[in-house]
């Protein structure tokens, strides 16, 4: 069997260039796979929440949360409370100065230079592999990704899970994991703190990725009853993967654009159909109104043929009928009159 591509991508906050931030602003998630992709504060966490749970396009049908709730933001807040509240209390108890106390560790980290949370994206197989596969076939990846969560907890127990969501609405099924790296044993400050730079290093990530790759393909072959192997790991991509180097990223972007175009075309087609229906209704009402007015005028002519000119002028002055209509009906009714004969081509604007 041909090899499958495996991607284990983790964000980092070392690169804070304006160009990287500008690129992030152009993406739906307001983040990129550049080095500034780390979730550095509450605002970025809120944007990741919106993207991962697809709240920006109200399309949750193809999004499956396998850990946490439908509110990633609150999941991270709860994780902070469960892991840091006691040590925060003990730390504050030892402080003699109020300005050194930490009232809320979640908000404290959000305002610092450290990442508030960490996002990991896992994908197995590229767009070519998953193209034209039925959804039932893709949904088997739920169990594979659940296995990846269990493996990640065993391999990196310091990484505390907050939320894990699978996306089936793009070119390939992939898993978004959001959690907090928690390091114990600090001598300065709180004894337990957020410690991403100590837990996820270049060397540790190499070990983590190798173990996760092996676990993933084994779980995949067991679930799909097959014997696939993995493509060779690309060198120099242990910490972060640039979007230009992600095999599936451009395909995902193209697919998003194609989906938007299809939606626009459907909206345009629907609007055209509605316009056609409205035009037919307008024509019907117009004919109905003209028919009623003709019937009404015929009755007047029949009953009041001696006073027709006076009646006709009054109807015209009240803008109930045009000159052309009055002359036409008078001719049809057999009434001989020179009404508006001299300027029958001129008419008031209705």
Round to whole Å and give the CA distance between 121 and 217. Answer: 16
Token couple for 261: 């175009």
Token look-up 């993406």 returns 27
Extents of the domains making up the chain = 3-246, 248-350
Does the pLDDT at position 247 exceed 90? no
* Other Cβ atoms closer than 10 A to 133: 12
Closest CA to 121 of 178, 168, 66, 65: 178
Which pLDDT score, from 0 to 100, does residue 248 have? 47
Would you place residue 154 in the very low, low, confident or very high pLDDT band (cuts 50, 70, 90)?
Answer: very high
> What average pLDDT score do residues 184-189 get?
89
Closest CA to 35 of 203, 200, 256, 231: 200
Q: Please, which residues have CB within 8 angstroms of residue 302's CB and are 6 or more apart in sequence?
A: 333
Does the pLDDT at position 56 exceed 90? no
Round to whole Å and give the CA distance between 296 and 346. Answer: 23
Residue-averaged pLDDT of the chain: 78
Does the pLDDT at position 13 exceed 70? no
> What average pLDDT score do residues 309-313 get?
71
Token look-up 């996820």 returns 200
- The CA-based diameter of the chain, rounded to the nearest angstrom, is 113
Q: How are beta strands 118-124 and 174-184 bridged, if at all?
A: antiparallel
Round to whole Å and give the CA distance between 309 and 301. Answer: 10
Q: Please list the residues that pair with 166 across neighbouring strands.
A: 64, 175
Which pLDDT score, from 0 to 100, does residue 282 have? 86
The string of DSSP letters for 10-67 reads E--BS---HHHHHHHHTSTTS--SSTBTSB-SHHHHHHHHHHHTTTTTT-GGGEEEEE
Cα dihedral across residues 180, 167, 123, 217: positive or negative: positive
Does the pLDDT at position 4 exceed 60? yes
The answer to whether residues 27 and 131 touch, using CB atoms and an 8 Å cutoff, is no
Which pLDDT score, from 0 to 100, does residue 215 have? 94
Closest CA to 228 of 236, 219, 238, 237: 219
Instruction: Select, from the ranges 168-172, 241-245, 254-258, the one with the highest average predicted confidence (pLDDT).
Output: 168-172
What is the total residue count of the chain? 350
Round to whole Å and give the CA distance between 169 and 90. Answer: 46
**What fold is seen in the domain 3-246?**
BirA Bifunctional Protein; domain 2 (3.30.930)
> What average pLDDT score do residues 211-238 get?
83
């Amino acid at each position: 069997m041909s090899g499958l591509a495996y991607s284990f991508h983790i964000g980092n906050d070392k690169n804070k260039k304006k160009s990287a931030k500008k690129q992030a602003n152009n993406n739906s998630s307001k983040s990129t796979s550049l080095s500034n992709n780390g979730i550095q504060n509450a605002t970025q966490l809120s944007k990741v929440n919106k993207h991962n749970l697809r709240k920006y396009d109200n399309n949750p049908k193809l999004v499956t949360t396998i850990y946490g709730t439908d509110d990633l933001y609150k999941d991270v807040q709860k994780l902070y409370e469960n892991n840091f509240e006691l040590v925060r209390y003990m730390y504050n108890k030892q402080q003699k100065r109020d300005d050194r106390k930490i009232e809320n560790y979640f908000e404290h980290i959000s305002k610092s230079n450290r990442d508030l949370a960490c996002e990991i994206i896992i994908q197995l197989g590229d767009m070519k592999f998953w193209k034209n596969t039925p959804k039932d076939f893709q949904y088997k990846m739920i169990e594979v990704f659940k296995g990846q969560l269990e493996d990640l907890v065993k391999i990196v127990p310091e990484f505390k899970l907050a939320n894990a969501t699978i996306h089936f609405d793009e070119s390939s099924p992939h898993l978004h994991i959001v959690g907090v790296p928690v390091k114990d044993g600090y001598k300065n400050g709180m004894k337990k703190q957020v410690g991403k730079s100590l837990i996820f290093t270049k060397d540790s990530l190499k070990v983590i990725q190798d173990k996760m790759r092996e676990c993933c393909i084994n779980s995949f072959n067991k679930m799909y009853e097959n014997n696939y192997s993995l493509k060779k790991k690309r060198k120099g991509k242990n910490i972060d993967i640039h979007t230009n180097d992600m095999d599936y990223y451009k395909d995902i972007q193209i697919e998003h654009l194609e989906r938007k175009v299809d939606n626009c075309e459907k909206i345009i087609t629907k609007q055209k159909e509605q316009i056609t229906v409205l035009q037919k209704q307008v024509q019907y009402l117009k004919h109905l109104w003209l028919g009623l007015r003709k019937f009404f005028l015929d009755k007047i002519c029949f009953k009041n043929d001696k006073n027709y000119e006076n009646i006709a002028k009054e109807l015209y002055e009240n803008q109930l009928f045009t000159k052309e209509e009055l002359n036409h009906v008078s001719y049809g009714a057999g009434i001989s009159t020179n009404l508006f004969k001299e300027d029958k081509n001129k008419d008031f604007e209705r």
